[in-house]
Amino acid sequence: MTDTPIGSTSIHTRRRPVRPGRIILHIALAVCAILMALPFLWMLFSSFKPVDEIFRQPPALLPENWSTNGYQKAFEGADFLRGFWNSTYIAVTVTALSLLTSAMAAYAFARIDFRGSKTLFMVFLATMMVPGQMTIIPLYIIMGWLGWIDTPLSLIVPASLFSAFGVFLMRQYIKGIPKELEEAAELDGASRFRIFTTLILPLLRTPLTALGIFTFLGQWNNFFGPLIFLNSDANFTLPLLVNQFKGQYGADWTALMSATTLVAAPLLIIFAVAQRQIVDGIALSGSKS
C-alpha cells in the first residue's frame, strides 16, 4: 500500500477523448455560420460605402472611405420614425392577440372532447397548405365591405384571429401537460376558464415566447399585406418605406442598404437575445401528437 502525498487526490477526472468526427462537424458548422452571416455583414458594411465601392471589382467587405451619407439619405427620403411606430404597433398588437387566440383554441382542441374535434383540427391544419395569394382577393373584398382598407385593422384582425401554426404549436405542448393537474383543480371547484388562466397559461410560457417571437418577426417583415391594403404614406410600414428606395430603372444602393440595416437591426437583436427560447419552444412542442 502506497501513501498518498498530502495535497494530492487519488481520484482523477477523466477527460473525454476528442473524436475527429466532432471536430469536423464543428468546423463544418462554423463555416456554415460564417456563410450565413456574410450577407448581413455585406449589407452592414455596404451601408457605409459610397456607391462606387459597392460595385467595385474585386469586391471588398470593408469600406475604404467610411461615410454616413446613406443613413442621412434614408432619413431624408422616408419618415422612418412613423414607419417604426406603424410596424411596432401592428406587430405588437398582432402578436398579443395571436397568442391569446392560439392558446384558447389549442386548449379547446387538446382538452375539450366534442364530436368531430379531430376532423375539425385536421381541416384547421390543412389551411396552412393554402397559399396566401389565393385568399388575398376575397380578403380584400371583405376588408372593403368593412371599410378597413388603408387602416391597420386590415392587417391586425386577419393575422391575429387565425393562426393554424400557433394553434398547432400550443396544442402539442398542452397535450404534454398531465391531466391530473386539471382534475385536482376541478375537485377544488375551479372552472374551466380559471383552470386555463391560472394553471395552463403559466405552463405555456416557453412555447408562447417562441410563438410570440415568430409572430413578431413575421409581421415586422411583412411586405405583401401592407402593399395590398395600405395606400397612404402615413400608414406605411418599414418594408414599404424601404421599397421606396428602389425605382423602376435604378436604385440608390447606399440609402437602400442603410434603410435595410435599420429595419433588420431590431430583428437581429431579438433573435440574439431570445434564441434559446426559440429552440426550447420548438423542441418541447413536438413531444405529443
pLDDT, tens digit, for every residue of 43-93? 888 888 887 788 888 888 888 888 888 888 888 777 888 989 999 999 999
pLDDT, tens digit, for every residue of 257-283? 888 888 888 888 877 787 777 676 566
One DSSP character per residue, 197-209 reads IIIIHHHTHHHHH
pLDDT, tens digit, for every residue of 7-48? 444 444 556 666 777 888 888 888 898 888 888 888 888 888
* 81 exposure class (CB count in 10 Å sphere: 0-12, 13-18, 19+): exposed
Structural domains of the chain, ranges and CATH numbers in brackets: 20-67 (no CATH), 78-252+263-285 (1.10.3720.10)
Provide the 10 A C-beta neighbour count for residue 223. Answer: 13
166, 99 contact by CB (below 8 A): yes
CA distance 169 to 122: 14
The residues with which 251 forms a beta bridge, in sequence order, are 246
Cis peptide preceding 63, ω within 30 of 0: no
Q: Among all chains, which residue has been given the C-alpha cell 385536421? A: 122
pLDDT, tens digit, for every residue of 105-115? 999 888 888 88
pLDDT of residue 247: 64
Phi and psi dihedrals of 36, rounded to 5?
-75, -30
Phi-psi region of 150 (alpha: psi -120 to 50; beta: other; left: phi over 0): left
Rounded (10°) angle between helices 253-285 and 205-220:
160
One DSSP character per residue, 47-64 reads TTS-HHHHT-SS--SS-S
Three-class secondary structure of residue 245 per DSSP = coil
101, 160 contact by CB (below 8 A): yes
Q: How far apart are the first and last CA of the chain?
A: 60
DSSP annotation of 196 reads I
pLDDT of residue 17: 65
For residues 287 and 83, which has the higher predicted lDDT (pLDDT)? Answer: 83
Provide the 10 A C-beta neighbour count for residue 286. Answer: 12
pLDDT at 285 over 60: no
pLDDT, tens digit, for every residue of 190-229? 888 888 888 888 888 888 888 888 889 889 989 999 999 9
- Nearest one of 257, 252, 214, 239 to 87, comparing CA atoms: 239
CA distance 230 to 243: 14
150, 188 contact by CB (below 8 A): no
- Grid cell digits, residue 254: 447606399
